[in-house]
């Protein structure tokens, strides 16, 4: 069972280095966010500077009150569209160095959703940011799932503090 505190090496054992249409259908509607060190790997792979990578290929996105970079989405007129690194023939053009979130996107596996939750709990939600906790609480209220170790009272074990955060009595 995947828990919030499952170690990265165990998580990575659940991923494959495979490429198929089922997984890549997601690449037609968005892209995976980048975490520390991933910009450098992608820039090196493409033989360009990190500066150029950011300018040409990345865009900023905010999730649970935290800013990230991700490959640009080719939106056109629509609110969604394919990842800039997605090619109908070649598929993911940066497959070897794609982000951890992209790697964990294992849509054919029964534990695929849990891998995404693990990523969210370990790399997106910031338990030390009250606004991130409030947004996570709204996500849970609207039916969002979480993993063992990733419930509100596990992220903020001090009940009084959690109550104050949720009542906007602690803002920062």
Question: Given the complex with ligand SF4, which of 94 and 147 has the nearer CB atom?
Answer: 94
- Per-residue binding string, ligand SF4, 27-56, x by CB under 6 A, is x---xx------------------------
Choices 2-10, 14-22, 122-130, 152-160 (CB under 6 A): range interacting with ligand SF4 = 14-22
Q: How many chain residues bind ligand SF4 (CB under 6 A)?
A: 20
The nearest distance, CB 77 to ligand SF4, in angstroms, is 20
| 155 interacts with ligand SF4 by CB under 6 A | no
Distances (CA, A) of 168 to 84, 133, 139, 171: 39, 11, 17, 6
Task: Compute the distance between CA of residue 39 and CA of residue 65 in angstroms, rounded to an integer.
Answer: 21
Question: Given the complex with ligand SF4, which of 84 and 162 has the nearer CB atom?
Answer: 84
The nearest distance, CB 136 to ligand SF4, in angstroms, is 24
Q: Which helix (H) or strand (E) holds 58?
A: strand 58-63
- Paired with 60 in beta bridges are 69
Q: Which of 171, 114, 112, 111 is nearest to 148 (CA)?
A: 114
Structure tokens at 20: 């198929």
| 22 interacts with ligand SF4 by CB under 6 A | yes
């Amino acid at each position: 069972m995947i828990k919030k505190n499952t170690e990265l090496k165990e998580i990575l054992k659940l991923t494959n280095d495979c490429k198929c249409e089922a997984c890549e259908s997601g690449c037609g509607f968005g892209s995976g966010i980048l975490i520390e060190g991933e910009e450098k790997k992608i820039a090196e792979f493409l033989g360009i500077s990190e500066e150029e990578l950011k300018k040409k290929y990345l865009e900023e996105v905010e999730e649970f009150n935290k800013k990230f970079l991700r490959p640009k989405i080719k939106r056109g007129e629509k609110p969604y569209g394919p990842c800039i690194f997605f090619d109908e023939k070649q598929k993911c053009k940066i497959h070897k160095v794609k982000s951890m979130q992209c790697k964990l996107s294992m849509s054919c596996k029964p534990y695929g959703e849990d891998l995404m939750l693990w990523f969210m709990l370990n790399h997106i939600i910031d338990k030390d940011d009250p606004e991130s906790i409030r947004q996570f609480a709204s996500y849970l209220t609207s039916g969002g799932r979480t993993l063992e170790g990733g419930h509100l009272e596990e992220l903020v074990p001090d009940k009084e503090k959690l109550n104050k955060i949720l009542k906007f009595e602690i803002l920062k």
